[in-house]
Amino acid sequence: MKASPRAVDLTITGHVQGVSFRAYTADRARELGLVGWVENLDDGSVHVRAQGDPDAVESLVDWCHDGPSAARVDDVEVRDVAPQSVDDFSVRR
């Protein structure tokens, strides 16, 4: 029996803008078969909405604690949210 999809909102803080965090996150999410989006926020953090297989979501959350090599992640806030109708994983603003 397939597990119900899990959806999370992540807020990643630290030196996470200007280091290709969004592009690497989108690549990793797609590799894991997740849908959602990643975007820069005005406060310098990165917001991720990811949904799909719970194990894949957890793998992305774990990856976000390190991010790409040029990033410095100080914190990853994780909130479970209701899944939405999303078809792919996109990079926003």
pLDDT tens for residues 60-92?
Answer: 999 999 999 999 999 999 999 999 999 999 999
Whether residue 72 lies in the annotated active site: no
Q: How far apart are CA 18 and CA 40, in angstroms?
A: 10
Q: Of 6, 22, 28, 49, which residue is the catalytic one?
A: 22
Q: How far apart are CA 59 and CA 76, in angstroms?
A: 13
Q: Average the pLDDT over 46-54 and give the result.
A: 97
Decide which of 3.30.70.100, 3.40.50.1220, 3.50.50.60, 3.40.980.10 is the CATH code for 8-87.
Answer: 3.30.70.100
Looking at residue 3, its pLDDT comes to 75
Average predicted confidence (pLDDT) for the chain: 96
Whether residue 40 lies in the annotated active site: yes
Q: Is the dihedral of CA 29, 31, 35, 38 positive or negative?
A: positive
| Residues 29 and 6 sit within 8 Å (Cβ to Cβ) | no
Domain boundaries, the chain: 8-87
Q: Of 6, 30, 40, 92, which residue is the catalytic one?
A: 40
pTM: 0.94
